[in-house]
Amino acid sequence: MVDMLITEIKQGMMSCLDNAQMERLDHVLKHCFFDVIVEAKGYSCILDNNNNDELLNMFLAAKQVESCSKRTLYYYQSTIKKMFQCIKKPIRHITTDDLRQYIADYQGKSRAGKVSLNNIRNIMSTFFSWMENESHILKNPVRRIRKLKIAQMIKETYSDESMERLRDYCKSSRDLAIIDLLSSTGMRVGELVKLNRNDIDFVNRECIVFGKGEKERAVYFDAKTKLHIQDYLLKRDDNNPALFVSMLKPYNRLQISGIEIRLRNLGKQLNIPKVHPHKFRRTLATKAIDKGMPIEQVQHLLGHQKIDTTLQYTMINQNNVKISHKKYIS
């Protein structure tokens, strides 16, 4: 209880003292409260002007201003609220040990994998880092919780045979155009569903997409994709400006879930495992690097801020490694 009281006093003085003064205050408080027993009369936080929900709403508003997507904001909100429900403390009193225990309990109850646990840890780190930067807390309690080590698995890509089978099996010009556009541009499925007809530059075979954080970038498609998109648009008789729409009236803009379901069904019918939109993106990145495209250009093509992210999307061809070994080392 003494440590909690000291923390309350320091939290209340944060806006008035610099770092050196705060360290001195901490030393004086610990000296004065040495061997002092403090009993709580009903747990309350006098200096806690903002409750947990208010601080969470402030955090979400800040992230919305930073152009985080609705999906990201939802993940932030749901993850942090679950943490609040289990750790029944004001935010300013949540410790590293509290968070470690929460992650351990979560793993035990849900049997979550390391990737899921790392995602939870990353979201909590983002939240508490914001709290620290905004001077709502003294120190980010997640800082001493390290990320879990995850085995680097080689992620699957589409083989040339699988790509041709998917194309050949398409029953509609729309599905064929979607597959070709995803495979030739490497765009995200969320970027694809936002495209309108007038976004497509058929002369230069390119289009502008809005990626994460509403950042614009140009992507490029091949001649085959151009012909298939034009064929699909010629067969449409609706007035929806969206590039891809549903097959039935009222021909609404196609959503991410609609594309995912359609591709998943195609994969099941052809017995091709793990058919999903993101796999086209990974396949393009892997082939581009395998054929010698500079990693920096692949990074720009995919719209990644960090080159490390681009490297995670790629898989080096072992045959090329062997050839290079003979050329440069043997």
**In the chain, which residue ranges form alpha helices assigned H by DSSP?**
2-13, 19-32, 52-65, 70-86, 96-110, 114-133, 160-169, 173-185, 189-192, 223-235, 256-270, 277-290, 295-302, 307-312, 318-328
The answer to whether the beta carbons of residues 6 and 36 sit under 8 Å apart is no
pLDDT in 10s for each residue of the chain, 330 residues:
667 676 767 666 665 666 677 678 778 877 787 777 766 665 444 444 458 999 999 999 999 998 888 888 999 999 999 999 999 888 888 889 999 999 999 999 988 888 899 999 999 999 999 998 988 887 899 999 998 887 666 678 899 999 999 999 998 999 999 999 999 999 999 999 999 999 999 999 999 998 877 788 999 999 999 999 999 999 999 999 999 999 999 999 999 999 999 999 999 999 999 999 999 999 999 888 888 889 899 999 998 888 888 887 666 555 666 667 677 776
- Cα–Cα distance, 227 to 223 (Å, whole number): 6
**Per-residue confidence (pLDDT) for residue 289, from 0 to 100:** 85
| DSSP characters over 59-76 | HHHHHHHTT--HHHHHHH
Token pair, residue 22, equals 């705060």
Of 15, 299, 302, 309, nearest to 136 (Cα)?
15
Domains of the chain: 1-47 (no CATH), 51-151 (1.10.150.130), 160-322 (1.10.443.10)
Q: Which residues contact 151 (CB under 8 A, 6 or more apart)?
A: none
**Per-residue confidence (pLDDT) for residue 1, from 0 to 100:** 65
Phi/psi for 207 (5° steps) reads -155, 160
What does pTM read for this prediction? 0.69
**Per-residue confidence (pLDDT) for residue 16, from 0 to 100:** 67
Q: In one letter, which amino acid is 271?
A: N
**Per-residue confidence (pLDDT) for residue 91, from 0 to 100:** 87
CB atoms within 10 A of CB 299: 19
**Per-residue confidence (pLDDT) for residue 162, from 0 to 100:** 95
